[in-house]
Homo-oligomer: A and B are copies of this chain.
Amino acid sequence: MPRYEILSEEAIVTLDAGWRRIVSELGVQFAKPEAVELFAKAGMRVEGEVVYLDPDFVMEQLALAPREFDMRARNPANNVHIGGDDMVFSGVYGPPFVLEGGARRDATMADYRRFTMLAQSFPELDSAGGVICEPNDTPLDSRHLDMIFALQTLTDKIYMGNVVSGVNARDTIEMSAILFGGEEVIAETPVCISLINCNSPLRWDDRMLDAQFEYNRARQPVILTPFLLMGAMSPVSVAATLAQQLAEAFAGIALAQLISPGCPVVFGSFLSNIDMQSGSPCFGTPESALGLLCTGQLARHYGLPFRTGGCLTSSQSPDAQAGYEALMTMLPTFLAGANFVMHSAGWLEGGLVSCYEKFIMDIELLRELQVEFTPLEVSEETLAFGAHEEVGHGGHFLGAAHTMERFRTCFYRPIVSSSQNYERWRRDGGKDAAARSGEICQRTLDAYEEPPMDEAIREELEAYVVRRRKELGD
């Protein structure tokens, strides 16, 4: 399907001049001496933590990054390609709370495992993600071990690495090496992908940079993502925010290529706005949709795989707002052809909540959009002239031979959406989409089967977790 592009050539030239001016005149702050030194060695002017980047140097560094790359999953059927026309979908990332059956509570490790099992159960998701929810009932210093272990054992898909610190990143890499047969193997074809957020505006923080250094050196891809809520982390202008996004992401990508030339990176985007009355973040807004479409066009212009989109919403419950805001982000995500899509399922309440019912609804949206963005076949045969001959004027096609041959597969078959007539719907309990989603969620978990795993590898992973948990003092 074609991409939907809304920026003129002239606008792209203006935005290009915009990021160049920002990185060269204002510079970008890197709160890690090792990063600053790398830039200084490369000839950049440095003042304290601020690096003043030569835009042409940045472009040279960008040119070192692969335009597309492969990632390997434990199950080869789940390998993915990042870049080009491919789109890769992963689950919600980051929420401290969960919502289930209308009740909101602290997320636990049991929740984390259940969401991971859901992600494994739906082929629409290429990855469960990383921090699908914060398992608040596990010790802070070692919970990354439990999360990585869950992702590695409960799914056989690619997964996202932990980025809380360089130590956590190192553990992720070592556990990945155990699972896939050594660090050399995973350096060849990466197996985990990690989210490195900018502390926008124009500042990369030390802990995130520590993690980035680990992943870049291990040749595991990082998604360098300006974190932009317009009005707070960027100006109240989509154009200004796009220029800032380029400046920040490009600075991060340039660093990645200094750390490890040619290592895989993804141009990240997380762009929405705050409510100017309350200051709270808003998602599924017109401005974020515009930003999203432009981000895709810019990523293609600079030849970088990119991350954006998701089923985002500010809504506090899986209601109509949650439905339309999710699609207000996800439909443009498809129109933009995002290569890596975080928060594809389960996101609620501005990312504070992982919601089971919303997870299922979002799977429905993903399934629908995957059909909607499959090119339409128009040919002599699909015109089905014979069906018209058979049915004639004012007749109906229900029993036509053409229909009978195709009725099982001709249309999208929903999992959540209902077109039951009112009487039947009432007889079946008059359940809304959220209630039906809750039932599907439970059925899916009941039917879940853990993907098979080599027992020796499993034991080695378990031993690693036990040893490291002890070392970390938990």
Contact = CB atoms under 8 A, between A and B. Distances in A.
A376 B290 contact: yes
- Which of A382, A408, A425 counts the most B-chain CB atoms under 10 A from its CB? A382
A416 interface: yes
A422 B318 contact: no
Given A240-B387, A323-B323, A421-B280, A394 B294 contact: no
B326 A411 contact: no
Contact of A407 (B50, B231, B365, B414): B231
A27 B243 CA distance: 58
A434 B290 CA distance: 26
- Which of A230, A239, A273, A364 counts the most B-chain CB atoms under 10 A from its CB? A239
Contact of A323 (B282, B322, B408, B437): B322
A40 to B, nearest CB: 17
A398 to B, nearest CB: 6
Interface stretch (A7-15, A86-94, A261-269): A7-15
A50 B331 contact: no
A191 interface: no
Contacts of A418: 314-316, 321
B236 A371 contact: no
Contacts of A419: 275, 278, 280-283, 314, 350
Interface residues of A, number: 125
Interface in A395-414: 395-398, 400, 402-403, 406-408, 410-412, 414
A202 interface: yes
A28 interface: yes
Interface string A313-355: 0111111111111111001000100000000000001101000
9 contacts: A203-B394, A240-B387, A285-B412, A286-B369, A290-B376, A314-B419, A319-B433, A321-B416, A323-B325
Given A14-B378, A201-B388, A240-B387, 18 more contacts: A14-B380, A14-B383, A22-B385, A26-B388, A235-B397, A235-B403, A236-B411, A239-B376, A240-B385, A276-B407, A276-B411, A285-B368, A286-B368, A315-B433, A319-B323, A320-B433, A327-B331, A335-B335
